[in-house]
């Protein structure tokens, strides 16, 4: 199954909707070459495309770092609270089980949110 190209619907004037499609940068640069645009325009387009690609890669890397930090924080919290429950809990067995079950759900949600 082919993936649909991302697009958005835009209204420039009342009752005149248009659809804006996003194409890969390489296709746009190829189209600019085919349109025989001046070399300085092509060079600027390539420079802008490279800058945007680098920014996108940086953003993706930062997002992954953020997800990893959330997972590390959740694991640290898990370790701390499990140690506290083991060392200091005066809860009856059933209440301790309920507490640990709720805590397990919270940690699972944190990991799902981090991914």
The string of pLDDT tens digits covering residues 30-50 is 888 888 888 998 898 888 888
pTM: predicted TM-score of the whole model, two decimal places: 0.42
Domain spans in the chain, listed from the N-terminal domain onward: 7-114
Question: What is the signed CA dihedral for 8, 12, 14, 20, rounded to 10 degrees?
Answer: -20
Give the model confidence (pLDDT) of 71-112 as tens digits: 888 788 888 888 888 788 888 888 888 888 888 888 788 777
pLDDT band at 4 (very low <50, low <70, confident <90, very high): low
Alpha carbon distance 79, 76 (integer Å): 5
């Amino acid at each position: 199954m082919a993936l649909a190209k991302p697009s958005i619907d835009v209204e420039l004037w009342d009752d005149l909707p248009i659809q804006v499609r996003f194409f890969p940068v390489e296709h746009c640069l190829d189209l600019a070459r085919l349109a025989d645009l001046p070399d300085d325009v092509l060079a600027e387009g390539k420079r802008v495309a490279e800058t945007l690609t680098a920014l996108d890669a940086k953003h993706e890397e930062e997002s992954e770092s953020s997800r990893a930090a959330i997972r590390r924080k959740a694991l640290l919290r898990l370790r701390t609270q499990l140690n506290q429950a083991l060392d200091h809990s005066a809860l009856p067995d059933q209440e301790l089980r309920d507490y640990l079950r709720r805590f397990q759900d919270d940690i699972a949600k944190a990991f799902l949110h981090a991914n």
